[in-house]
Amino acid sequence: MRTEFDDELQDRLVRYAAIDSQSDARSATSPSTDIQLDMSRLLVQELQEMGAQDVTLTDFGVVLATIPGTAEGPTMGWCAHVDTAPQFNATGVKPVVHRGYNGGDITFADAPELKLSPENSPYLAQKVGEDIITASGTTLLGGDDKAGVAIAMTAARYLLQNPDIRHGPIRLAFTPDEEIGRGVDPRLPDDLKADFAYTFDGGKPGEIEFETFSADGATVTVTGVSAHPGFAKDKMVNALHLTSKIVMMLPQVTMTPDTTEGTEGFIHVSEIMGGSSEAEITLIIRDFEMEGLEAKGALLRQVCETVAATELRAQIKCDITPQYRNMRYWLEKDMTPVDLVRAAVTDVGLEPVSIPIRGGTDGSRLTEMGVPCPNVFTGMQEIHGPLEWISVQDMALATKVAIALARRTVT
């Protein structure tokens, strides 16, 4: 069943998704890529045109704005990120709208060998008659998290045009670099000026997440001994051989993303770069509990030390850096923001569902930094790949939840 928000949400997501805004973990700048600012500047323009106040693009790349309150109440934040994942191609995204999905296979114009169906995405079976948005087959869609951006923008526009709705002040924050764990600059909590907030960066309708992975990033640098391969006997130490040993000594049939589920953590080798003289392994370490996270980091260090002991002429350096922590550690002390969004989800006729999220959001960092920030569904599915899709009607449900949240900030 179509809603008053469907056309706007569809238009926003189609326009936003077509803008290349991938982040880059190897960049030292903030934002990590200039192209993210193309999205940010567009949002600044649209927020100003709709009548939002205090519209700002910070020097660390966050778009901030205020929806003035129409009644006394706490200040609530709505957050979403503008960047798309670097793990898959996101250049030249061509969004496709499949109106009134018929329950069969969805095909892709630019990749005829691909198909999206209830067989490979079971939730799709529940979306018959709804409007599905995908990319064209060679890119991700970028609904993660441009769907969240579209939802927050649509709800903000609605509240600005309906001042009779009683709500407290709402602060909008559209961040860069969430996909590489750098979305929350240390200055953001003070600039946001919110008592609590919500990220719109989740999956199926009704889902509310207040428990995330704790996350570390790791870089292992292997420096060998370079020599001409024709005269290398007893001289060369091949960094790639040592790199391969490290990877093969890490768990292979357990403790990897493809062998874990639920609340199990993992060590994930995400990238290997370099040559025979020097090579670098990039890894991410995840666990829901700090003890498990620390144990996995210790295992990685032990593997590196073991391989280093087999070749004393080489240098192996293992650096582990904190990324974010399980927001549950803070939210379980005061569940008020979680209870509030559960009530809002119920207000729109959905059943609230909370399961640990096998990932993290900007809300993890914001919560750790003093702004309680659970995560709210958007409808996004099969993210970070060419089969990514979303229902416009699921986005409309999230928009209704945002508006219900606004109403619930006042009594």
Pairing of strands 63-67, 196-202: unpaired
**Contact call for residues 249 and 318 (beta carbons, < 8 A):** no
98 is in an annotated binding site: no
The DSSP annotation for 148-164 comes to HHHHHHHHHHHHHH-TT
In the set 178, 185, 195, 362, the catalytic residue is 178
Strand partners for 39: none
**Contact call for residues 150 and 82 (beta carbons, < 8 A):** no
Q: Which two tokens stand for residue 349?
A: 């006729």
339 is catalytic: no
Q: Which two tokens stand for residue 292?
A: 């498990």
Torsion of CA 160, 162, 168, 169, to 10 degrees: 0
Q: Which two tokens stand for residue 219?
A: 């870089």
> CA 181 from chain center: how many Å?
8
Containing 405, the helix (H) or strand (E) segment is helix 392-408
CA dist 244 to 167, 256, 266, 288, 370, Å?
57, 16, 19, 28, 42
Distance CA 175, CA 183 (A): 6
- Apex 232 CA angle, 229 and 234, nearest 5: 155
Strand partners for 375: 199, 209
Cis-peptide into 31, omega within 30 deg: yes
201 is in an annotated binding site: yes
207 is catalytic: no
Angle, in degrees to the nearest 10, between helices 239-249 and 290-309? 140
Cis-peptide into 145, omega within 30 deg: yes
179 is in an annotated binding site: yes
In the set 8, 20, 83, 211, the catalytic residue is 83
Distance CA 83, CA 23 (A): 6
**Contact call for residues 198 and 80 (beta carbons, < 8 A):** no
Distance CA 101, CA 251 (A): 42
Binding residues, as ranges, are 81, 144, 179, 201, 384
Provide the annotated active-site residues: 83, 178
Binding residues for Zn(2+), as ranges, are 81, 144, 179, 201, 384
